[in-house]
A and B are shown apart, each in its own frame.
Chain A
Amino acid sequence: MLKGHLDAIVLAALEGGPAHGYAIIETIKRGSASTFDLPEGTVYPALHRLEQGGLLSSAWVTPPGGRRRRMYSLTKAGSAALAERRKAWSRFSSAVDSLLQEGRTWPA
């Protein structure tokens, strides 16, 4: 189920600013209280796919005395896509919540 929403989750993880793959995974783990403990490598195909689609941009960055890393950032199209996916998710989750409500009586 998570796989279908991975792209949106990755976009959301980058909303706070540019980050590299490892930091994105850590953000997802922390943000989901470790519920989404997916294999870390699965984030890279999503990052590359989103970049190919123009929703992310990336560049190599080497901080002074640090390790060279590829940093990803949301593009304008990425921010718009994230807003759109948020709305879609909100509609979907409200509908499922309403259907799964305990004690709900179905029309005969």
Chain B
Amino acid sequence: MAGVIDQYLASLRRELDFDPALARRLGDEVEAHLRDAAEADPAWPSPEAEQRAVARFGLAREIAVQFAADAIDRQARRSWIMLAATVAVTFVAMRLRIMWLDDVGGTASALAPLIDRYAFIAALVVGTIGWFAFRHSLTPLVICLGGLVASIAAGIARADLFVGGAPLHVLLPAAGEIALIGLLSWHVLGLHRRLRRTAALRRAG
């Protein structure tokens, strides 16, 4: 039968399943800690000594919540950095597209230039407000992501980029912004998963 410490470690690893590498590392670290603590107990060796060591350590779920909250901070920071990079590359790509359009003229509807410009400006405004006031909230990131996707799609449609034989200096930034949008979506999804997981841990606690 598993001892008190083994049971606690299994439960800690379960609670930390949102980050398997952390669960493994912390499991090993905490095992050494708990065995040191139990051995320092006057009643060692006994289940009571292990029980007291585990009780002093604290609830596995509460420790997992603290790690999850730190992970949200890191994920949010990465998402905002990715958003700033995407905005910068989108701006450069947009300017290059406009220069290219001056040469060849656009074929898309009259709406495309408006979406291209104003969806980008909306993303920029929401992103700036979000950065200063709602850095841990998913909403401004999702709005910015939506704005940038709309702007990029309209810009590409407007310039017929991938069918019109655009020069490399216009195509490469466009490919860059598509790649960055993909990465940004992945980060935002990751943040969403972490927020949901942390909320579930807090509710269960």
A5 partner residues in chain B, CB cutoff 8 A: none
Q: Are A42 and B66 in contact (CB under 8 A)?
A: yes
Complex formed: what's the CA distance from A73 to B166 in Å?
55
* Chain B residue with Cβ nearest A39: B58
Q: Are A22 and B37 in contact (CB under 8 A)?
A: yes
* Chain A residue with Cβ nearest B22: A48
Give me the 10 closest cross-chain CB pairs, A-B, nearest first: A39-B58, A45-B66, A41-B58, A41-B63, A41-B57, A22-B33, A22-B36, A40-B57, A69-B32, A70-B29
A22 partner residues in chain B, CB cutoff 8 A: 32-33, 36-37
Within the complex, what minimum Cβ distance (angstroms) separates A30 from chain B?
13
Also in contact, A44 and B56, with CB within 8 A (given A21-B33, A22-B33, A68-B32): no
Complex formed: what's the CA distance from A22 to B57 in Å?
10
Within the complex, what minimum Cβ distance (angstroms) separates A35 from chain B?
16
Complex formed: what's the CA distance from A48 to B74 in Å?
12
Is A76 an interface residue, CB under 8 A from the partner?
Answer: no
Q: Are A41 and B70 in contact (CB under 8 A)?
A: no
A44 partner residues in chain B, CB cutoff 8 A: 26, 29-30, 63, 67
What is the 8 Å Cβ interface bit string for chain A, positions 17-46, against chain B (1 contact, 0 not)?
A: 000111001000000000000011110110
Q: Are B30 and A41 in contact (CB under 8 A)?
A: yes
